[in-house]
Structure 1
Amino acid sequence: MTLRRVRESETLRSSPVETLNPLMDRRKFLKSAGVGLGVGAAGSLVPNPIFREASAAAVEAPKLAQYKTICTKCAVGCGLIGEVKDGVWVSQEPWFEHPINQGSLCAKGAAARSAVISDKRLRYPMKLSGGKWQRISWDQGMSEISAKLLELRKKYGPDALHINFSAHFSNEHGYGIRKWAGMWGTNNVDFQARI
C-alpha cells in the first residue's frame, strides 16, 4: 500500500456523498420544506373549533366601603383611604387628592392597618409564669401592674419611671401618655422617633 499526500480540496471533491435518503437530493428537500411551511402557515388561518379566544371569567369585586381618613402615626396628618368590609378594616389605598401627602405614605403610614389588624398583635394580657406565657384577665393584669408601679413609686420616687412610647402609637395615645406621666409626677417621657 502506497501512501501519498493529497491536498484537502482534492479530498472533498473526490469523496462520495452519503445521504440518508438516496431518492431526495438537497433541492428536493428544500422544495418540500417550503411547501410544508406554506401549508402550515395557511392552516393557521383556518378557524379551529378546539381553540378559542382567551377570556377571563366574570369576577365580582367585593363590596368595600371607602372612608377618607387621616393617619395618626405622627403629627403630619397624611391622608389615606381605608377600605372596610363588614365593619373590618381590610385594606387601604392612597388618597391622591390629599393636600399634605398627595397619596404617598411613609413606612408607618403604609403599615397603619397592620398595627391594628395583625395575627401578631396581642388581644389580651399575658403573664410569664414558669417560663411560659399564660393568658390572664384584664382585671388581674391591671391589678398586678398597678400594685408594682405603686411599689416602685413609694420606694424610689416618681422619677424612677421612664415612659418611652412607640411610633405605632397615635398622637392621641401620646397625648394621653404625657398627661398620665404628668399626673404620676414625672417628666421622664420620650418618643421612639427622637431616640
Structure 2
Amino acid sequence: MSANTYEALNAKVGRRSFMKMAAVATAFGVTSSFASTPATRAATEEEIKNPFPGSKMVKSICTACSVGCGVIAEVQNGVWVRQEVAQDHPVSLGGHCCKGADMIDMVRSEVRVKHPMVKKDGQWKRISWDEALNGIASKLEDLRQKDGPDSVMFLGSAKFNNEQAYYYRKFAAMFGTNNIDHQARI
C-alpha cells in the first residue's frame, strides 16, 4: 500500500462531508446492493398474520419518564415479545419518543435489577423484600433519631395521581419534614 493510499484511508471525514458522501452513495444505489443479501427471506403469510401464536395484547403505560404514554405489549407465555404504540391513548396520541420505542429492550434486559440487592463485602447479594423494607425503615428511623427529621428528603413521582401524591405528602409530614419534591417533566 502506498503512502498516499494509507493517508487517504486515515483521513478524517467531517460530519458534513460524510453526509454528502452518504447522499451520493444513496443516489447511486450503493445501499440497495447490501439490502439484497441472501441472509434474509420474505416472511410467510402466516408469520405476518400471527407471528406469536397464542399471545395476548396488554395495554400498559410507558415507564421511561413521567409523561405516561400508552404502550400495547404483546405477551406470550408471560414474556413481553413485541410492542406497539397505543393509538387511542389520550397522552401519547399514537406516538412514542425513542425511549418509549425501546421500552421492550429495557424490560427484557439481562442486566435489569429484578430483586432487592445489597452490597456486602464488595459483592452484590440478593435479599428478600422484607429484609429490604426493614433495612430502609431502620435507616430512616436512625436518621430521624440522630439528625432530626429534616435530615431526610422525600422525592415523589410525577406519575403519582392526586391521591398518591396526597398520601406521600402525608407520609413526609408524619415523618416530621417539609422536605418533599418530585421530578415532573411536564
128-137 or 93-102, larger mean C-alpha shift: 93-102
Identify if the C-alpha distance between structure 1 residues 70 and 138 changes in structure 2 by more than 3 Å, giving closer, same or farther.
closer
- State the 4+ residue runs in structure 1 displaced beyond 6 angstroms: none
Match of 2:122 in 1: 131
Matched, 1:82 2:69: no
Counterpart for residue 182 of structure 1? 173
Q: Give the letter aligned to residue 79 of structure 1.
A: G
Q: 1:78 to 1:126 in 2, by over 3 A?
A: closer
After superposition, where does 1:106-145 map in structure 2 within 5 Å?
106-114=97-105, 116-145=107-136
Q: 1:124, CA displacement in angstroms? A: 2.1
Where 1:154 maps in the other structure, the secondary structure is: helix
Tell me the TM-score normalised to structure 2 length.
Answer: 0.56
Q: Partner residue of 1:159?
A: 150
Q: Aligned equivalents of 1:138 and 1:100: distance in 2?
A: 33
SS at structure 2 position matched to 1:171: coil
Counterpart code for 1:150: E
**Displacement of 1:181:** 2.5
In the other structure, the counterpart of 1:45 is none
- Is the 1:71–1:79 contact (alpha carbons within 8 Å) kept by the matching residues of 2? yes
Where do 5+ consecutive residues of structure 2 fail to align? 1-40
Q: Which has the larger radius of gyration?
A: 1
Partner of residue 93 from structure 1, selected from 84, 87, 90 = 84
Give CA deviations for 1:16-37 in whole Å, capped at 9, x if unaligned.
xxxxxxxxxxxxxxxxxxxxxx
- Who is 1:7 aligned against? none
Aligned residues: 137
* Alignment of 1:62 onto 2:52: yes
